[in-house]
């Protein structure tokens, strides 16, 4: 084992990984086969590798993953998403582009509960895409507006990808949540401004005028929905419970609201939410299992340090490194799912960025913002697939309409890199360690 250099391990690890990917295998298969090939090369028993990888699934923070997925599914069934959309509509009113702005706001509200981009797109899109089309919006534009805004769902806390990054990079999940507030709000405001510009000539005649009374009625009807993120996030930052425990609180709060307040959560919807949660969680945990073994090899043979030293010898300009990192992440987002990217690149890129003096929370939030772009970029683009199914428009048509919003998203990411305090100010106000 001692005669094998880190460079040889890296060559086999990444060589097998990309070779298996190129023949069309799923990401978890590529990670697992690459790890097994490398362990076999260095002479490690494969049984020990499996035992090592299985231990990754016992992480306490990882328990938040199925809980947040279940909470998001239950909230959709309990009528929470519908009420949040109604509040967003009444906040904006019947201005040109107002319904598209309402879509961005609704994604912020629902993202603050579900923590999932595709779940946010599906919940909001089912309501907003038909509504926008009925009011004269281009169908492709309506689908693109929903797909791109759905990415905000993983930036606004609580966020499932932030939980995965916190576990993978051993960073405070609570600080990651705090770091996502300002970036998520910035993206939502930038999208809203773009909608007001692009839809400035839209005919709004015949729409109900904005009124305080209608807004108050919407807020009264949706007060329990609005309280959900306040209770969840407020409890975390007040120290009443950890992010993992907050996910369990979210489930019980949703059950209470859905059964006793709204009375819309039925047994059939409950079982459907459990089925969705089992399928999504199982898929993610298989990736975590194989990615842990992959990452363990990277760590043991100091491959990230070797890559960092190579890059440090190439350039000393941190913004040059940021440019290549963002370009790589957006490129990967076009072909790989979000959680797989986070698990794959965190052990490689985090030590590199730390070597350049970048704060791990800053890097983590920018990483989440970059992979959020991948939700609305083909060929993978999960949000585009969802919006396509709802609107009955082709992926190509939606992707073309989504391009301006992708560029706006990238512009916001550039601001976050240039001004780190946009990410780090709120996390600096708390002192929470990873539980």
Per-residue pLDDT, averaged over 267-286, amounts to 80
Residue 62's pLDDT band (boundaries 50, 70, 90)? low
Q: How far is CA 84 from CA 102, 132, 175, 188, 225, in A?
A: 10, 16, 26, 15, 7
Residue 193's pLDDT band (boundaries 50, 70, 90)? very high
Q: What is the DSSP code (8-state) at residue 209?
A: P
Among 175, 155, 186, which Cα is nearest to 367's? 155
Per-residue pLDDT, averaged over 24-51, amounts to 79
3-state secondary structure 136-169: CCCHHHHHHHHHHHHHHHHCCCCCHHHHHHHHHH
In angstroms, the CA 416 to CA 195 distance is: 22
Per-residue pLDDT, averaged over 28-37, amounts to 84
Least confident interval from 48-52, 272-276, 331-335: 48-52
Instruction: Name the token pair of 62.
Output: 């990882």
Residue with the larger pLDDT of the pair 361 and 320: 361
- pLDDT score for 364: 96
Residue 432's pLDDT band (boundaries 50, 70, 90)? very low
Instruction: Name the token pair of 353.
Output: 């960025």
Per-residue pLDDT, averaged over 169-181, amounts to 91
Residue 70's pLDDT band (boundaries 50, 70, 90)? confident
Instruction: Name the token pair of 329.
Output: 């992440």
**What is the secondary structure of 321-374 as a DSSP string?**
HHHHHHHHHHHHHTTS-HHHHHHHHHHHHHHHHHHTT--HHHHHHHHHHHHHHG
The per-residue pLDDT for range 221-248, each reduced to its tens digit, is 888 888 877 887 778 777 787 777 877 8
- pLDDT score for 345: 85
CA count, 13 A, side-chain hemisphere, 341: 26
Ramachandran category for residue 93: left, alpha or beta (phi over 0 → left; psi -120 to 50 → alpha):
left
- Are 338 and 374 in contact, with CB atoms under 8 Å apart? yes
Residue 60 has pLDDT above 70, yes or no: no
Residue with the larger pLDDT of the pair 182 and 69: 182
Instruction: Name the token pair of 53.
Output: 């990888």
- pLDDT score for 305: 67
Per-residue pLDDT, averaged over 71-81, amounts to 77
Identify the top-confidence range among 121-135, 182-196, 287-301, 417-431.
182-196
**Residues of the chain with pLDDT > 90: what percent?**
20
For all residues of the chain together, what is the average pLDDT? 82
- Are 326 and 413 in contact, with CB atoms under 8 Å apart? yes
Q: How far is CA 203 from CA 136, 137, 199, 221, in A?
A: 7, 9, 9, 29
Dihedral, CA of residue 124, residue 128, residue 129 and residue 130, to nearest 10: 130
Least confident interval from 114-118, 206-210, 412-416: 206-210
Per-residue pLDDT, averaged over 48-60, amounts to 68
């Amino acid at each position: 084992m001692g005669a094998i250099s880190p460079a040889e391990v890296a060559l086999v690890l990444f060589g097998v990984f990309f070779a298996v990917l190129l023949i069309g295998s799923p990401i978890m298969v590529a990670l697992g086969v690459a790890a097994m090939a490398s362990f076999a090369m260095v002479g490690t028993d494969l049984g020990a590798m499996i035992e090592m990888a299985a231990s990754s699934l016992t992480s306490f923070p990882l328990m938040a993953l199925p809980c947040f997925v279940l909470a998001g599914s239950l909230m959709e069934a309990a009528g929470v998403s519908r009420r949040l959309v109604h509040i967003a509509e009444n906040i904006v009113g019947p201005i040109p582009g107002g319904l598209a702005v309402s879509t961005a706001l609704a994604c912020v509200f629902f993202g603050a509960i579900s923590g999932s981009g595709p779940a946010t797109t599906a919940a909001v899109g089912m309501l907003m895409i038909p509504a926008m089309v009925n009011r004269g919006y281009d169908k492709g534009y309506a689908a693109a507006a929903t797909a791109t805004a759905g990415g905000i769902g993983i930036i606004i806390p609580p966020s499932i990808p932030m939980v995965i990054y916190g576990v993978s990079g051993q960073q405070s999940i609570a600080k990651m949540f705090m770091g996502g507030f300002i970036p998520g709000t910035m993206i939502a405001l930038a999208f809203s401004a773009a909608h007001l510009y692009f839809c400035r000539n839209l005919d709004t005649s015949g729409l109900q005028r904005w009124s305080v009374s209608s807004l108050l009625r919407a807020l009264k009807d949706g007060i329990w929905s609005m309280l959900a993120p306040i209770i969840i996030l407020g409890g975390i930052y007040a120290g009443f419970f950890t992010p993992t425990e907050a996910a369990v609180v979210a489930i019980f709060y949703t059950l209470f609201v859905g059964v006793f307040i709204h009375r819309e959560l039925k047994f059939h919807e409950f079982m459907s939410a459990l089925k969705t949660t089992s399928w999504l969680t199982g898929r993610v945990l298989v990736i975590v299992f194989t990615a842990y073994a992959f990452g363990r090899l990277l760590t043991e043979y100091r491959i990230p340090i070797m890559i960092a030293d190579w890059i440090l010898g190439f350039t000393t300009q941190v913004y040059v490194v940021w440019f290549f990192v963002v370009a790589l992440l957006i490129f990967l987002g076009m072909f790989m799912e979000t959680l797989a990217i986070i698990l794959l690149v965190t052990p490689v890129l985090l030590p590199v960025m730390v070597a350049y003096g970048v704060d791990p929370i800053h890097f983590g939030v920018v990483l989440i913002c970059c992979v959020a772009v991948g939700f609305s970029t083909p060929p993978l683009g999960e949000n585009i697939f969802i919006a396509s199914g709802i609107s009955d428009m082709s992926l190509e048509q939606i992707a073309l309409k989504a391009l301006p919003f992708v560029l706006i998203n990238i512009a916001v990411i550039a601001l976050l890199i240039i001004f780190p305090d946009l990410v780090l100010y709120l996390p600096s106000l708390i002192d929470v360690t990873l539980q």
